Structure 1
Amino acid sequence: MPHSPERRPNMQQIGQAAGVSKSAVSLALRNDPRIPEATRLRIQQIAEEMGYRRNPVVDSLMTQLRAGRQPTFQANLGLINCSPISDLSKNHTFRRLREGVLRRAEDLGYGIEEFWLQQPDMRPQRLKQIVETRGIRGLILIAALSPDTIDRGYVDFWYDFACAVIGVTHLNNRLNCASNDQYLTARRATGKVLELGYKRPMLVVPPHDDALLEDKFSAGFYSAARHLSVLDQIPVVPLDLDDPHAALQAIRQQRPDVVITNKSEFYSVLQDDGIRIPKDLGLVHLDWHDALANIAGMRQNNRVVGSAGVDLVVGQLQKNEFGSQEFPKVVQIESVWIDGPSVKLQKPVEKNVSKKKT
């Protein structure tokens, strides 16, 4: 018996009557070719008998969403390049952060205007005048390599805007931040090589890089390596690419079976020293990207980090929040492991298990 108009069935009820899933009902009612024609017709007939009627308002809205209509333009945001280099594309991490910012801003209906903080004629008052004249209320700080790279005149500058930092968390100015979770990146890289069968991992990173990340690389490494036997626990080795002799000497003395680093240049340094990768030594990169097809490592998903930074600023604008935050939000994006030919699967240790005779 058909349902009355006041009690029209939903897709879940139709699916139960037809013996199919709710999603199959949705596809069938839209004549989607992924559902066989005979099944589509049967589901449509059951829906009609049960009194189902399409909602034209909902249909219109869903059509717009599926068509991917661009949202109405909202405003412009400012992307503030805090690094000493004007072209962010020269650094693969900065380039991906920027791409994430641009894509997410476009999705939300915001434009992006870019400013270079370190250009010779840029001063706090000049930048503030430019930004305010253009009606920009939200700022995203990118590539802040250290607090020293930012002129002291900018100490209070950010507090007139909705503002977030992307890429690092070290700026102690109570601003929201989006970054990769470098602690988990190093911890999971170390855990992965142990899972592959390596026994003596070594972390080799420039001290300045680890300090910039508040020692998260070394902390993540130690948190995973502490479960090893004392003899297999190797201290973090500092890397100086201008003079890598000390790092190479540490490898010869400590005899690791895999090295974890954040510098792709170290691959060539090892090869030039006669080390065969992965036959003699495995190698893992902590900031893997598409150009490193010859290396295994952790992709830090920096485009997602940039996207999260936009969400933080837009969220502040929508709530009319400006200046320093009483409880700053830190959004940390996890990395994913990428297989590569710089590591090999070690043979697992066979346990000597005696079998009882039956």
Structure 2
Amino acid sequence: LSKSTVSRALSGDPRVAESTRVRVSSLAQHMGYRPNATARALATRRTNTIGLVVPWVPRSLSDPFYLEFLGAAGDAAMRSGYSLFLSAPDGDGAGAVRAHAELADPRRIDGMILTEPKANDERIALLHGIGLPFVVLGVASDPEVSWISGDNTAGAFDAVDHLISLGHTRIACITGPPDQTASKARFEGYRSAMSGAGLPIDRNTIEAGDFTQPGGHTAMRAIIDSGRAPSAVFVCNDVMAFGAMRALREAGLAIPADVSVVGFDGIAMAEYVDPPLATVNQPIQELGRMAVQILIEQMSGEGGPAHCVLPVQYRPSNSVGPPRTRAEAINRG
């Protein structure tokens, strides 16, 4: 066999007869041959590397959502012959856009997974301009962009609707950053449930957090200090809910006797706080696997943009209960 035939057989060239491919593969295995990844990348002009950009390191490494997502995405990439290159730019705004521009080099990566999209996101416009295949974790408004997301609005609606069914009428909300699409969608679910039940929304009990535990603590303190104490609070992610629970305890408020608390994401740690946190379970591992799958299809030029919404499920737990009756509140005081 000629060198060119052997090379084509090892690279899976469809022009090579099946009998020849099997013969070459058998000989290569017998001789302990392993393909040189660098040489193959140079020949194919591919890096076999996927870039994944997550929030700045201290936050992403302390948020179990991202740890679980990273694990699933990394495993899916490896099974498809790709490695995962992780980037965590420090800060937001121009610095984050610059970090994305530096990573989005076809000589470094073949495609990118982008997280936490915003309305009119400059990063999406940048990647479009470069022409690098990418997929967004979260809903993107541009129909030409591939994205995958849990059903944020439906999950938030179900959580708040359960609180209402228990008798709560004064329900606070701690959102994520106002410019992020996931935060907006979860707030919309909260607003829709309240409106559907004919309940007013007290703007003094709506606070924006930053998806971190300190952010949830600060937001809950602000709600408590407003003097408009709610009987329940819906928090737009579990990590912020942990901070909110601490703030409530520091204020001498019992959970759920005084204030019920619900989170969002369904991270494993939610079952181990005291009391166990009611939350909205997201299919985090499935999000990681499917993000990689969609991106690989984009890099292969298969099909058009993909838009995937995965179902979520509300999980009640011991952090929620009915509100105190007027008599109970007086007796406690």
Same fold (TM over 0.5): yes
Name the counterpart of 1:239. Answer: 207
Separation in 2, partners of 1:170, 1:344: 36
* Mapped pair 1:169 → 2:136: no
Q: Does the CA-based 8 Å contact 1:256-1:281 persist in structure 2?
A: yes
Tell me what 1:213 maps to.
Answer: 182
Q: Is the 8 A contact 2:150 2:310 kept in 1?
A: yes
Q: Flag the 1:302–1:210 CA change in 2: closer, same or farther, 3 A.
A: farther
Could you tell me whether the CA contact under 8 Å between 2:280 and 2:312 is conserved in 1?
A: yes
Deviations 1:196-236 (A, max 9, x none): x23315142146247543621221112222232x4x43345
Match of 1:258 among 226, 232, 252: 232
Contact preservation (8 Å) 1:77, 1:140 = no
State whether structure 2 residue 245 is matched by structure 1 residue 273.
no
8 Å CA contact retained: 2:176, 2:183: no
Q: 2: CA distance between counterparts of 1:224 and 1:125?
A: 40
- Paired with 2:323 and 2:267, the residues of 1 have a C-alpha distance of 25
Is this contact kept in 2: 1:165–1:177, CA < 8 A? yes
Does structure 2 retain, via aligned residues, the 8 Å contact 1:203–1:260? yes
How far apart in 1 are the matches of 2:261 and 2:59?
Answer: 30
Which residue of 294, 317, 328 corresponds with 1:340?
317
SS at match of 2:270: coil
Answer yes or no: is the 8 Å Cα contact 1:182–1:217 preserved in 2: yes
Alpha-carbon distance in structure 2 between the residues aligned to 1:206 and 1:150 = 23
**Structure label with greater radius of gyration:** 1
Q: Secondary structure at the match of 1:267?
A: helix
Q: Secondary structure at the match of 2:61?
A: helix
Structure 2 counterpart of 1:95 = 67
Q: Is the 8 A contact 2:233 2:260 kept in 1?
A: yes
Q: Does 1:305 align with 2:287?
A: yes
Unmatched segments (≥5 aa) in structure 1: 1-72, 348-358
TM-score w.r.t. the length of structure 1 is 0.60
Q: How many residues align?
A: 258
Change (3 A) 1:210 1:176: same
Q: In the TM superposition, what whole-angstrom CA distance separates every residue of 1:134-175 from its partner, at most 9, and x where no partner exists?
A: 6x5333223557877849865512x233x2111x22475832
Aligned to 2:48: 76
Q: Normalization by structure 2: what TM-score?
A: 0.64
Corresponding residue to 1:104 among 46, 58, 76: 76
Q: Quick one: which of 140, 143, 161 aligns to 1:191?
A: 161
Which runs of 5 or more structure 2 residues have no equivalent in the other structure? 1-36, 38-45, 209-214, 325-333
SS, match of residue 340 in structure 1: coil
1:179 touches 1:333 (CA, 8 Å); kept in 2? yes
Q: Quick check: 2:117–2:181 contact (8 Å CA) kept in 1?
A: no
Deviation per residue, 1:283-324 (Å, 9 max, x gap)? 111233111222111122222212221121223344446xxx
CA contact (8 A) 2:278 2:319 kept: yes
Q: CA deviation at 1:239?
A: 2.2
State the percentage of identical aligned residues: 14
Deviation (angstroms), 1:92: 2.1
RMSD: 3.7
Distance 2:319 2:291 in 1: 33
Q: What is the rounded CA distance, in whole Å, between the counterparts of 2:180 and 2:116 in structure 1? A: 15
